[in-house]
Structure formats: C-alpha cells, structure tokens
Amino acid sequence: MDCARIPNPFRLCSALRVLGSFMVLLVLAIVALSYYAVVVVAWGPRLSHGFPVSVLSAMIIVVFHLLLALLIWSYFMVVFHDPGSVPANWRPSIDEESLERTISGSQSDYVNPETRASTSSTLEELERRPNMGYCTRCQNGKPPRCHHCSVCQRCVLKMDHHCVWVVNCVGAQNYKFFLLFLIYTFLETVLDTFSLLPNFIKFFSDARNHSGSPGNLAVTFLAFVLNLAFALSLLCFVVMHTSLVLSNTTTIEVYEKKKVSAWEYDLGKRKNFEQVFGTKKLLWFLPMFSAEDLEKIPALQGLDFPTRSDVQR
C-alpha cells in the first residue's frame, strides 16, 4: 500500500539544488566587491604616485589579477566539470580468458605445475579485487570508493562531498579543480586582507572626520571583513584537504579509515599526490590534465584505484 511506504528523508536534500544560481551569483558578487575595493579604491589611484608606491601598487594589482584569473578558471571548471558517474550496467572488468582458465584448471583432476602456478596467481588476483557494491537507488553497480549523493540523486565516483559553493559534487574527475579553487581563493583573500589593511585602519579616522566617500568607506570596510573571514576559514579547509590528499583519503573515507589498521589506498605521499594532480609538474597548478595522465592514471577516471600489496582486504 502506498500509505505504508516509509518516506525517504534524503529526498529533501535535492532542495539544495535551488541554491545553485544564488551561490554562483554570491561568489561573483564577493569577487566584484573585492576587485572594486582593492583595484579601484585602494591601489589603482596609487599607480600615479611616485616611487616606490607606484611599484608596490603595480605588483599588488598584477598578482591580484593573476590569482583572480586562476581562481575563476578553477571555479568554473569545478562547477561545470562532471565529477564522474558510474556507467550504466557497470561491472568490474575481469580478464575472461584468465577466469575461464582458472575455472577449468580448478575443476580438472590433474593440473601440471605451470598451469597450477598460473591458476594460483589468477585466483590471488581475483581475490584481491574489491568487492563490488550495489546501489539500490541507482539500480547499478558501485565501483570502489563510489558513493551515492542524495543531492545529485546519483552515484559519484570517488565522492568527496557535495559542495553548495560550487553547485556540484566533488569527485574523482574534478577534485583537483576544487583543491585549486580552495588554494587560489585562500591566497587571493590573504592578499586582499593585507592590501586593504592600511585602508581599513584609516577607515575609522575618515569616518570620524567625515572625510572620503561614504560609499568607498563602506566598500573598503565590508571587503576587508569578508576577506579576513574567508581567509581564516579557508586556511582550515586547505590544511584539511592537504592532509587528505597526502594520505589518499576522501572526506567520506575518513570514517571508513578509522575502522582499519592500514589504509589500502595509501601509496606514499608522492604517489598519493599524483593520483589527484597527475605527474606533469607544469600542470599541477592549472585546472587541467594531460592526455597521458588521463590515460595512464586510472584513479583520475574514478573506476579503478591501485592499492598496497601489504594490506589484506
């Protein structure tokens, strides 16, 4: 009976999607406010001042625009780039020839030593494969490290979390872009905070003496407070996600990791870093991957992940 069905409370999570456009506009509004405060009000007019003020102004404005470009690039990449979804009717890939040889070898009465060794090796390989999960809501298989997002209403590959600020899930294929967005936003807010600090201090005397434009004073005050607050909060997130990347763990897996003595995906800090950022050093700081990394690093696709050989599953 329909009246006997138990309601799914997670259906309410989908309401968060209506905040999407608002959050994007809010991010752009904060960027515009900071731009006006730093470039137009604080340091742009000082370009015409003599040395060394003009040089300092030019340096601040150049670095500001560089970080802003990288920030916006990373932001829209994580907003519009799919985090990775499970293919329809997904099943773990198994070498059918090896599987057939293993089954036939195990059923025969006599197996020569070479075939026995090959069969044993194949069995060990199959035993080491992660157990395939199944999502009852998606009615599909679940690869390792995959989780169902109640907001997006689908399974996300190597899901980290659903972020309302980027109006998207953060997963295997856009995690790097999210991290770069965090880093560049943190650096931008730190730069804004320090560059607006002299104007913020001057704000109180200007307000008391009623000197200066009231609109510029309000913009300077608001931009400084917002950038300081974001810089402090983002510092915590940058430190947390740096730790997660170096241990090859997602935010969701932190709780799973506590249940095991050794984390099977921890391959060492260097390899863990490359599982997210790739091996091309020139592209580490850009929201993009090389074609070679996408082909040779399965973790970037989110369906298969290398594991430690010394950890029993």
The two structure tokens encoding residue 44: 């742009």
Burial track 142-181 (b if 16+ CB lie within 10 A, e otherwise): bbbbbbbbbbbebbbbbbbbbbebbbbbbbbbbbbbbbbb
**Which residue type is seen at 299?**
A
DSSP assignment, residue 23?
H
Alpha carbon 22 to its chain centroid, in Å, reads 21
Task: Please state, in angstroms and rounded to a whole number, the distance separating the CA atoms of residues 131 and 308.
Answer: 16
Alpha helices in the chain (DSSP H): 20-35, 53-80, 96-107, 113-127, 175-209, 214-246, 253-257, 269-277, 291-296
**Which residue type is seen at 125?**
E
Does residue 163 carry a catalytic annotation? Answer: yes
Of residues 155, 163, 169, 236, which has the active-site annotation? 163
Instruction: Return the active site residues.
Output: 163
